C-alpha cells in the first residue's frame, strides 16, 4: 500500500476577483520508505504540493490520502496529532521558538506526546548532530547551520513515518547546506522513513529513489533513481 496518495489534486488561490491556479490535476503515489525529490523552477508549485500532502493546506479539488487516512477534509484538531506523530517538517526558515533553548525546542514535539524520555532523546539527537555544547543556547545565539540542525532534531524526535523538507538549505551557505542534506539522508536511511524533499542539489537528488519535475503546476516527467531497498 502507498503511504501517500494525491488523486487529481488542484489548488487555486483567490486574489481579489482573480483566481490563480497553482497546481492542476496532480496525481502522485509515494511508497513507504521512498526518498522522493521534487524539482522545479520558482513558482512551479513545489511548496504548495508539500503543503497539501502534509495537510498544512487544503486542495481546491481532489483527495489526499496519508497512511490509509483521507485527510482532505480532516479538521485541524484531528490533523494536529498526525502532524506531530506521523510527520516531521524541515523548512527553509527554521521556525524555532525564540524563548526556548536548543534542547527545549527539540523536546517540544515529544513533550506534546507526554514522552517521559523527551529530554533524553533530545540530548542524544543534539549530541549526534554535534550540538552537545549548544543545548542551553537560544536560537539567537546559534548560527544558521546550527539552527537548521536543531530544527532537524526537532523534526525527528518522534521518529516520524514521513519527513517533509522544503528547500531546507535555502538560507545556508553551500558547505552548511551540503552537511544538512547529508544529515537528512542519513536519518532517512537509518529510520527507514519516507522523505519528500524539495531541493536544487543535484548531488543529493542522485541519492533519491525518484525525482519528479513540476512545471507550471503540473508534473512534467519523472526520473527513477535507486531502488528503495538498495537505498537502505
Give tens-digit pLDDT for 44-67.
999 999 999 999 999 999 999 999
Give the other-Cβ count within 10 Å of 205's Cβ. 19
**Which grid cell is 186?**
542519513
List the 35-40 sheet strands across, edge first: 87-90, 162-166, 194-198, 35-40, 210-215, 218-224
pLDDT at site 232: 56
- pLDDT at residue 197 is higher than 60: yes
Q: At what angle do helices 118-128 and 102-112 cross, to 10 degrees?
A: 130
pTM: 0.91
pLDDT at site 77: 87
Give me the phi and psi of 17, to 5 degrees please: -90, 0
pLDDT at site 63: 96
Domain residue ranges of the chain, discontinuous segments joined by +:
98-157
Amino acid at each position: 500500500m502507498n503511504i501517500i496518495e494525491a488523486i487529481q489534486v488542484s489548488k487555486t488561490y483567490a486574489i481579489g476577483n482573480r483566481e490563480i491556479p497553482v497546481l492542476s490535476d496532480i496525481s502522485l503515489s509515494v511508497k513507504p520508505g521512498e526518498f522522493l525529490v521534487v524539482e522545479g523552477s520558482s513558482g512551479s508549485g513545489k511548496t504548495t504540493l508539500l503543503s497539501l500532502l502534509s495537510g498544512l493546506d487544503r486542495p481546491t479539488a481532489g483527495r489526499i490520502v496519508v497512511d490509509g487516512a483521507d485527510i482532505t477534509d480532516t479538521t485541524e484538531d484531528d490533523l494536529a496529532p498526525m502532524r506531530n506523530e506521523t510527520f516531521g517538517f524541515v523548512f527553509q526558515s527554521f521556525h524555532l521558538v525564540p524563548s526556548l533553548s536548543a534542547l527545549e525546542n527539540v523536546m517540544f514535539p515529544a513533550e506534546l506526546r507526554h514522552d517521559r524520555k523527551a529530554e533524553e532523546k533530545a540530548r542524544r539527537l543534539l549530541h549526534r548532530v554535534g550540538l552537545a555544547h549548544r543545548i542551553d543556547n537560544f536560537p539567537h545565539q546559534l548560527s544558521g547551520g546550527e539552527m537548521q540542525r536543531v530544527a532537524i532534531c526537532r523534526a525527528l524526535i518522534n521518529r516520524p513515518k514521513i519527513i517533509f523538507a522544503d528547500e531546507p538549505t535555502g538560507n545556508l551557505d553551500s558547505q552548511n547546506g551540503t552537511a544538512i542534506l547529508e544529515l537528512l539522508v542519513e536519518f532517512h536511511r537509518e529510520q527507514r522513513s519516507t522523505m519528500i524533499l524539495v531541493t536544487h542539489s543535484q548531488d543529493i537528488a542522485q541519492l533519491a529513489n525518484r525525482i519528479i519535475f513540476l512545471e507550471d503546476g503540473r508534473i512534467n516527467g519523472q526520473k527513477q533513481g535507486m531502488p528503495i531497498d538498495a537505498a537502505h
